[in-house]
């Protein structure tokens, strides 16, 4: 990482995809306005705090009531890890209501 690939050697498809995505991300961040940067920062921190709070509550519940089934636990972790990407990718057909498994 950080070094250019050797000349004449074909890149692995996953490596080239990763490098393209990184370049696109860096370009997007470099070309964005201070307002957009602030919005991205606040959004990242909000979802970090949300996940931390939900995982803490799940852990406390599991300590008090016992461990739930692996399927339910996987659903709850997926819900806690949700970052809203689906909402950005799809049009506002349903009013923008976030979708996730219920706790």
Tens digit of each residue's pLDDT (9 = 90 or more) over 3-56: 776 777 777 888 889 889 999 989 988 888 999 989 989 999 999 999 999 999
- Which of 89, 96, 86, 102 has its CA nearest to residue 54? 102
Residues 51/81, Cβ–Cβ less than 8 Å: yes
76: number of Cβ within 10 Å: 21
The predicted-structure confidence for 65-91, as pLDDT tens digits, reads as follows 999 999 999 999 999 999 877 555 544
The region that residue 29 occupies, defined by phi over 0 for left and psi between -120 and 50 for alpha, beta otherwise, is alpha
For the chain, percent of residues with pLDDT exceeding 90: 50
The domain segmentation of the chain, as residue ranges, is 13-87
pLDDT for position 83: 87
Q: Report the alpha-carbon distance of residue 51 to residue 72 in Å, rounded.
A: 17
Tokens of 12: 């692995």
Maximum alpha-carbon separation in the chain: 59
From CA 73, how far away is CA 25, in angstroms rounded?
32
Tokens of 14: 């996953």
Q: Is the pTM of this model over 0.85?
A: no
């Amino acid at each position: 990482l950080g070094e250019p690939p050797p000349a004449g050697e074909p890149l692995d498809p996953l490596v080239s995809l990763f490098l393209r995505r990184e370049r696109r991300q860096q370009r997007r961040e470099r070309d964005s306005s201070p307002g957009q940067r602030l919005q991205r920062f606040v959004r990242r921190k909000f979802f970090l705090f949300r996940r931390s709070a939900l995982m803490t509550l799940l852990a406390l519940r599991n300590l008090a009531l016992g461990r739930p089934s692996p399927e339910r636990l996987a659903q709850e972790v997926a819900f806690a890890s949700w970052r809203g990407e689906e909402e950005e990718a799809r049009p506002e057909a349903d009013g923008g209501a976030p979708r996730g498994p219920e706790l």
